[in-house]
Structure 1
Amino acid sequence: MTDRKLAQAAWESLFRAQHELFAEFHSDFDGADITQAEYDVLLTVTRSPDQTTRLRDITLNMLISQPSVSRLIDRMVARDFIIKRADPDDGRGALITATDAGVRAFRAVATVHGRSIAERMATLDDEELRELLALTEKLRRG
């Protein structure tokens, strides 16, 4: 059986590390054309085949509620970062495609953000990074 105090201490440390890193990386978006939330959407979309993905897949990857994702998507459509259209395979679903403007805005921040992440994570060696990845994936699987 898991030591309850140890589990709570590990959770608190993981939570605080994530929170502190997230706050630290926030400056990567200062003066950028996109917000962190828009970056997260475009990260999912640009990694998908033909830079198109289902809205439900974006919602699964986001750390905000479905209504908040819907409002964010609508704002991004208005800003010409993405195109939203009906999903022909799912009458209630939508397909989201990155526009050229969205891809440019994403790439401009991705370079800076990727560098910041690599520099900060360099505190860990490759073996520790692999272990961290394995542990966080295990936690996510339950």
Structure 2
Amino acid sequence: MDIERILKTRENAIYYGIGEYQKDCFGWVGGNAPACFDDKYLSDKDNLYFYLTFQNPLNPNKQISIFTPEFDVALEYNTYPDCKLLLVEHELSSQSKSDRYKHPEIDEIYSIYEMSTEKDMPEKKLCNQIWG
């Protein structure tokens, strides 16, 4: 991956896709939060729910997880700097068996996979080719 072309010159971007959930992936939308959050309390003020996690493209040993508040709160606070999203970088972790942070409005679980860093986006790469 040519990080300079993506982050500095912004000539390219990282494209992600979603597909059928695969248990061995380190990226998914919906379902339960990564297991590393099982013993953590995320917020005193807002009920936060797991939205998605993906493997950090700049550090493949880390994941980035995003948590959102309830739908009405997310709509009310939907622009920077007042958005209520919580983004957390953490060690690689599989999906928890606990539904503690499961989003009540997201029923399906999908895998996230990196499609390309090129402008023309070649064919999809399978999850196990990306994450081992």
Query: TM > 0.5 between the two?
Result: no
Higher Cα Rg, which structure: 1
Bigger helix share: 1
Instruction: Tell me the TM-score range normalised by the shorter chain.
Output: under 0.3
Q: Which has the higher contact order (CA 8 A, sep 6+)?
A: 2
* TM-score (normalizing by structure 2): 0.26
* TM-score (normalizing by structure 1): 0.25
